[in-house]
């Protein structure tokens, strides 16, 4: 990755500019927030056809060695002993308070070799945590790699015709393949709620692959703006918003990310940072929990705005908000304490002194399109 005006660039930066992207700083990188068609068009195209996202700013870290399973399980509440070759799991790096340092996807490439894909804004700190926690393993940052995401109902058919060997991949399964003459990894995963794939490949081959995919009329380039609105409708957490050092997985409603074998009474209970705090919250629900919000009217609500009960009592705060093009209305997520956590509850959001009506709704707000 090169530097430009103090910001890092990805292997696709020149292509983004050629395609008319509006570039913005993000996680220390120059990244496309939208292309010429605009955020709403990109969002809807992904929901109906396929969108191509550049997520090369994210970190790719390989951990290998006979102690890799033991050491990684001591860092996060994940079941790696039971993870099959080619399988992927969502997991969380936690701190001693039970808060989340980062969320990530971990894939088993071989019996003793794993790939971790971590958030771009956290990857330097994550590397330090992983190196400190895995002293007996070989930790390698894959710096000369690109990461593309092809998402949407047409993604599978498009990618099958261009990258042989991925026909049978289902959600959270991965395959090592040859892409643009180099070794690549294709995983059936993503951040939109749609069927789709994330493609890790050598940086040098990324522009050619992107051009081949975009040559299909069903594929459109998509920027960060639509990536955020897609994940918001899909009820997916964003680090720094629904996840953070002071937010536990249980508060974020990620109980499903704590497998039974790592819970009290399981085969390998606890043993990771904050395990006792998280176990306590699994047994007795915490006061605040993440909820979805369907906002009435046309005015979106934003991060940090207060959520109030019908009686006017402050009961929480918005963590993410914006317009949901597929829903056709403003949508949001936030943390709420008390009985208003239940779907159907009526609440208000304080938007600079004006109180906007909203309803707590179940997540996701759109039907997931994952192929399982």
pLDDT in tens, 5-31: 789 999 999 999 999 999 999 999 999
Q: pLDDT tens, 328-358?
A: 999 999 999 999 999 999 999 999 999 999 9
- Does residue 284 surpass a pLDDT of 60? yes
Mean pLDDT confidence for 223-244: 98
* % of the chain exceeding 70 in pLDDT: 99
DSSP 210-239: HHHHHTSTTEEE--HHHHHHHHHHTT---B
What is the average per-residue pLDDT within 175-204?
A: 96
Nearest residue to 190 (alpha-carbon basis) of 240, 142, 156: 156
Give the pLDDT of residue 2. Answer: 59
Strand order, beta sheet including 219-221: 174-179, 182-187, 196-202, 145-151, 50-54, 219-221
Between the alpha carbon of residue 222 and those of residues 36, 50, 160, 278, 352, the distances in Å are 10, 9, 20, 37, 32
135: left (phi over 0), alpha (psi -120 to 50) or beta: alpha
pLDDT at 1: 56
**Model confidence over 140-150: pLDDT tens digits?**
999 999 999 99
> What are the boundaries of each domain within the chain?
3-57+143-231, 287-372
Q: How many percent of the chain have pLDDT more than 90?
A: 95
Other CB atoms within 10 Å distance of the CB of residue 329: 15
**pLDDT score, position 165:** 76
Q: What is the mean pLDDT of residues 40-63?
A: 98
pLDDT, tens only, 203-231: 999 999 999 999 999 999 999 999 999 99
Looking at the DSSP bridge assignments, the partners of residue 348 are: 308, 357
- What is 3-57+143-231's CATH superfamily? Probable tRNA modification gtpase trme; domain 1 (3.30.1360.120)
289-336 confidence digits (pLDDT tens): 999 999 999 999 999 999 999 999 999 999 999 999 999 999 999 999
Q: Indicate the CATH number for domain 287-372.
A: 2.40.30.110
Two domains, one topology: 3-57+143-231 and 287-372 = no
pLDDT band for 167, please (50, 70, 90 cuts).
confident
pLDDT at 141: 98
Per-residue pLDDT reduced to its tens digit, 111-123: 999 999 999 999 9
Q: What is the pTM of this model?
A: 0.96
pLDDT at 268 over 90: yes
The bridge status of strand 50-54 relative to strand 219-221 is parallel
Mark 196-230 as b/e (b = at least 16 C-beta within 10 Å): bbbbbbbbebbbebbeebeebebbbbbbbbbbbbb
Q: Is the pLDDT of residue 4 over 80?
A: no
């Amino acid at each position: 990755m090169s530097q430009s005006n103090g910001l890092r660039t990805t292997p696709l930066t020149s292509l983004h500019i050629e395609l008319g992207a509006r570039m913005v700083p993000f996680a220390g990188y120059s990244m496309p927030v939208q292309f010429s068609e605009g955020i709403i068009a990109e969002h809807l195209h992904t929901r109906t056809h396929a969108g191509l996202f550049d997520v090369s700013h994210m970190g790719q870290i390989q951990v290998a060695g006979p102690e890799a399973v033991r050491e990684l399980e001591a860092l996060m509440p994940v079941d790696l002993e039971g993870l099959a070759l080619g399988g992927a799991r969502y997991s969380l790096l936690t701190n001693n308070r039970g808060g989340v340092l980062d969320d990530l996807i971990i894939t088993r490439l071989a019996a003793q070799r794993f790939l971790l894909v971590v958030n771009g804004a956290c990857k330097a700190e994550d590397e330090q945590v992983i190196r400190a926690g895995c002293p007996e393993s070989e930790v390698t940052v894959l710096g000369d790699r690109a990461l593309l995401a092809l998402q949407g109902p047409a993604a599978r058919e498009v990618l099958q015709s261009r990258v042989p060997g991925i026909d049978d991949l289902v959600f959270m399964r991965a395959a090592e393949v040859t892409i643009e003459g180099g070794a690549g990894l294709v995983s059936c995963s993503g951040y939109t709620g749609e069927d789709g794939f994330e493609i890790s490949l050598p940086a040098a081959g990324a522009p050619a692959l992107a051009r081949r995919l975009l040559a299909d009329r069903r594929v459109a380039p998509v920027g960060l703006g639509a990536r955020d609105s897609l994940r918001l409708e899909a009820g997916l957490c964003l680090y720094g918003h629904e996840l953070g050092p002071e937010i536990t997985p249980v508060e974020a409603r990620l109980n499903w990310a704590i497998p039974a074998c790592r819970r009290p009474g399981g085969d390998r209970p606890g043993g990771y940072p904050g395990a006792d705090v998280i176990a306590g919250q699994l047994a007795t629900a915490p006061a605040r929990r993440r909820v979805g919000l369907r906002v009435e009217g046309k005015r979106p609500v934003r991060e940090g705005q207060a959520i109030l009960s019908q009686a006017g009592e402050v009961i929480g705060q918005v963590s993410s908000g914006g317009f949901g093009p597929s829903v056709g209305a403003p949508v949001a997520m936030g943390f709420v304490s008390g009985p208003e956590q239940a779907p159907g509850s009526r609440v208000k959001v304080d938007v600079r002194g004006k109180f906007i009506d909203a309803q707590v709704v179940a997540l996701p707000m759109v039907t997931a399109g994952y192929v399982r």
